[in-house]
Structure 1
Amino acid sequence: MWAICLNEFKGHFKSFKSIVVIAIIFGVTYLTADLMSNLMATFPEEAAELGTDGYATGIVILIFVLGFFFITGLSHDIINREVSERTMRFLVTKTSRLNVLMGKYLGVWFFWLFCMVICFLLITIKSKDFLWLGLIDTMLFLSVALALNLVFSIVIPKPGVTMFVGITFALVFPALSFWAIFSGKLYVTWFKFLTPYYYSSLSNYYILINGLYTVLLLLLAYWLFNRRDF
Structure 2
Amino acid sequence: MFGIVLKEYLGLIKGVKSFLVILFVTSVSIWAAQYASSSTFLTEASGDSQGTELAGLSFIFILFGALFIYILSHDIVNRDIELQRIRLLITKTSRKNVIVGKFISVFSFWASVTLITFVCISISTQTFYIAPLILLWVFIAFHSGVAIMMSTIITKHSYTVLISLIAGLVIPGIGIWSLFNKSVIAKVLNYALPYYIAMDDYRFIALTVVEIAIMLIISIIVFERKEL
Q: TM-score, normalised by structure 2?
A: 0.92
TM-aligned CA distance change 1:200 to 1:16, over 3 Å: same
TM-aligned CA distance change 1:126 to 1:219, over 3 Å: same
TM-aligned CA distance change 1:112 to 1:187, over 3 Å: closer
Q: What is the identity, as a one-letter code, of the residue corresponding to 2:16?
A: F
Check conservation: 2:135, 2:197, Cα contact below 8 A.
Answer: no
Equivalent residue number for residue 10 of structure 1: 10
Q: What is the identity, as a one-letter code, of the residue corresponding to 2:105?
A: G
Q: What is the identity, as a one-letter code, of the residue corresponding to 1:140?
A: V
- What do residues 50-108 of structure 1 show as CA deviations (whole Å, max 9, x unaligned)? 41311011110111110111011211100000011011112112210111111111111
Q: Spell out the pairing of 1:75-90 with structure 2 (5 A cutoff).
A: 75-90=73-88
Equivalent residue number for residue 164 of structure 1: 162
Q: TM-score, normalised by structure 1?
A: 0.92
- Using the TM superposition, give the Cα deviation of residue 191 of structure 1 relative to its aligned residue in structure 2, in angstroms: 2.6
1:108 matched to 2:106? The reply is yes
Any idea what SS the aligned residue of 1:204 has? coil
Of 195-204 and 86-95, deviating more is 195-204
Q: Spell out the pairing of 1:48-59 with structure 2 (5 A cutoff).
A: 49-59=47-57
- Using the TM superposition, give the Cα deviation of residue 177 of structure 1 relative to its aligned residue in structure 2, in angstroms: 1.9
TM-aligned CA distance change 1:38 to 1:119, over 3 Å: same
Equivalent residue number for residue 27 of structure 1: 27
Check conservation: 2:142, 2:194, Cα contact below 8 A.
Answer: yes
- Using the TM superposition, give the Cα deviation of residue 202 of structure 1 relative to its aligned residue in structure 2, in angstroms: 5.7
Equivalent residue number for residue 228 of structure 1: 226
How much identity, in percent, do the aligned residues show? 29
For residue 212 of structure 2, the aligned residue among 211, 214, 227 is 214
Of 141-150 and 171-180, deviating more is 171-180
Aligned residues: 228
- What do residues 184-214 of structure 1 show as CA deviations (whole Å, max 9, x unaligned)? 2335443322211136636235334322221
Whole-angstrom CA distance in 1 between matches of 2:65 and 2:199: 15
Whole-angstrom CA distance in 2 between matches of 1:177 and 1:196: 8
Whole-angstrom CA distance in 2 between matches of 1:201 and 1:219: 29
RMSD of aligned residue pairs (Cα, Å): 1.9
Of 81-90 and 215-224, deviating more is 215-224
Of 213-222 and 6-15, deviating more is 213-222
Whole-angstrom CA distance in 2 between matches of 1:33 and 1:213: 31
Whole-angstrom CA distance in 1 between matches of 2:155 and 2:222: 12
For residue 177 of structure 2, the aligned residue among 170, 176, 179 is 179
Q: Which runs of 5+ in 2 are unaligned?
A: none
Equivalent residue number for residue 193 of structure 2: 195
Check conservation: 1:196, 1:210, Cα contact below 8 A.
Answer: yes
Equivalent residue number for residue 142 of structure 2: 144
Check conservation: 1:39, 1:47, Cα contact below 8 A.
Answer: no
Structure 1 consecutive aligned stretches of length 4 or more whose deviation exceeds 6 Å = none
Any idea what SS the aligned residue of 2:221 has? helix
Q: What is the identity, as a one-letter code, of the residue corresponding to 1:92?
A: I
Of 166-175 and 180-189, deviating more is 180-189
Any idea what SS the aligned residue of 1:12 has? helix
Check conservation: 2:76, 2:151, Cα contact below 8 A.
Answer: yes
Equivalent residue number for residue 129 of structure 1: 127
